[in-house]
Amino acid sequence: MSNLSPVKLSPAFKDYLWGGTKLKEKYNKKSDLEIVAESWEMSCHKDGQSVVASGEYSGKTLSEYVEILGKSALGKKAGKFSYFPLLIKFIDAKDNLSIQVHPRDEYALRVEGEYGKTEMWYVLEAEEGAYLYYGFNRDITKEEFAERIKNNTILEVLNKVNVKSGDVFFIDAGTVHAIGAGLMICEIQQNSNTTYRVYDYDRRDKEGNARPLHVEKAIEVSKLTKAPELAKSESDVLASCEYFTVKKAMVNGETTLKIDESSFVSLIIVDGNGTIALGEDKIDVTKGDSIFVPAQNGEIMMNGEMEVIVSSL
């Protein structure tokens, strides 16, 4: 087997209080946790590493696997990042997530010691009436923002968006946002776990404690202007920015995906099943699987009936 073979990854799981059980019931996730709020499908983050689950390096963390292969396996575009640049996860929101914001790189590196967090969401499932918050419904000042957090009226000035399956949301760092109850999402983001909560519905954890808020930091980094109109994707490219490019591939039979030395590729099977092949290496895949393909010149053959989220730098 070549060192540049694609590998299947097993995720790190998170049991945040707002999570549900759909990842175990519908996305083939195996975990002893009662609640699986998130599965970190491709992660080299210290707070949760995905693990190689196929091939001769099975059992190694993704970080260890990349170190074995060398930096060239991440591709030429990865050279501008000081560490593994992306984190991809599934999110099962049985309940509302907190109202939150993520900082940009400059602030996050200076204050938190890691990258900021620009992200995108691809909505896999949306229960009837599901919604999310995306920015503000009008311009506000820092003073009003702080006062509304203090008196629990922040929801009144947030931009509430009804959501359906297949919707795409690009969440630039600095955008106040929240995923609502009844949504299943595939999230592609910068490799960061820095989140500033501004409102959490006065919820309590298992010990009865309120989760901490980060009001001062949130006010410093938030965009306080009215949210822009959401752009609709008219092609297979779901999002493209300086941090990632995300496409959707509908496989009906056999589909060829050209890859090169510019970037590694992540393949997330969000529906269906089939095979992923590169040269003589072939992996059987099904709904919920995550495949990491090192950067190289070649063609990935995808065969079956599948919906695949393809991410690269």
In a domain, residue 2? The reply is: no
Contact 266, 310 (CB under 8 A): yes
Vertex 76 angle, CA 270 and 248, to 5°: 20
Q: For residue 197, indicate whether it is catalytic.
A: yes
Q: Coil, strand, or helix at residue 33?
A: coil
Same domain, 45 and 141: yes
> Distance (Å, rounded) from C-alpha 234 to C-alpha 270?
20
If asked whether residues 55 and 175 sit together in one domain, one would say yes
Asked whether residue 266 is assigned to any structural domain, the reply reads yes
Upper half-sphere CA count for residue 226 (Cβ side, 13 Å): 5
Indicate the number of domains in the chain: 2
Do 230 and 283 reside in the same domain of the chain?
A: no
Tens of pLDDT, residues 251-270 = 999 999 999 999 999 999 99
Both structure tokens of 300: 């990935």
pLDDT at residue 1, as a whole number: 41
Query: Which residues, 6 or more positions from 147, have their beta carbon under 8 angstroms from its beta carbon?
Result: none
End-to-end C-alpha distance for the chain, whole angstroms = 25
Query: How do residues 43-67 score in pLDDT, each as one tens digit?
Result: 999 999 999 999 999 999 999 999 9
Give the Cα separation of 23 and 15 in Å (integer). 11
CATH code, domain carrying 267: 2.60.120.10
Sorted by sequence, the CB contacts under 8 Å of residue 267 that are 6+ apart come out as 6, 276, 285, 290, 291, 293, 300, 302, 308, 309, 310
Element (H, E) at 45: strand 44-45
Q: Which residues of the chain have pLDDT under 70?
A: 1-3, 233-234
In a domain, 290, yes or no: yes
Same domain, 204 and 187: yes
Instruction: Please tell me whether residues 298 and 215 are part of one structural domain.
Output: no
Is residue 104 assigned to a domain? yes
Residues 65 and 163 in one domain: yes
Domain termination residue (choose one: 236, 266, 298): 236
pLDDT of residue 260: 97
Assign 19 to helix, strand or coil: strand
The mean pLDDT value of the chain amounts to 96
User: Is residue 96 domain-shared with residue 116, that is, in the same domain?
Assistant: yes
Note whether 188 and 307 are same-domain residues: no
CA distance 253 to 306: 9
- Residue 306, domain member (yes or no): yes
Q: Which domain holds residue 291?
A: 239-312
Q: Is residue 298 included in any domain, yes or no?
A: yes
The H or E element containing residue 149 is helix 142-150
Specify whether 136 is located in the same domain as 249.
Answer: no
What per-residue confidence (pLDDT) applies to 143?
Answer: 97
Whole-model pTM: value is 0.96
Domain boundary residue among 208, 236, 264? 236
Q: Does 63 lie in the same domain as 125?
A: yes
State both tokens at 56. 């001769």
Catalytic residue (one of 148, 197, 204, 211): 197
A 10 A CB-CB count for 139 gives: 11
Residue 101 lies inside a defined structural domain of this protein? yes
Query: From CA 222, how far away is CA 224, in angstroms rounded?
Result: 6
Q: Is residue 92 one of the residues assigned to a domain?
A: yes
What residues does 187 pair with on adjacent strands?
Answer: 89, 121
Same domain, yes or no: 154 and 292? no
Last residue of a domain, one of 179, 212, 236: 236
Indicate if 224 and 100 belong to the same structural domain.
Answer: yes
DSSP 8-state assignment for residue 237: E
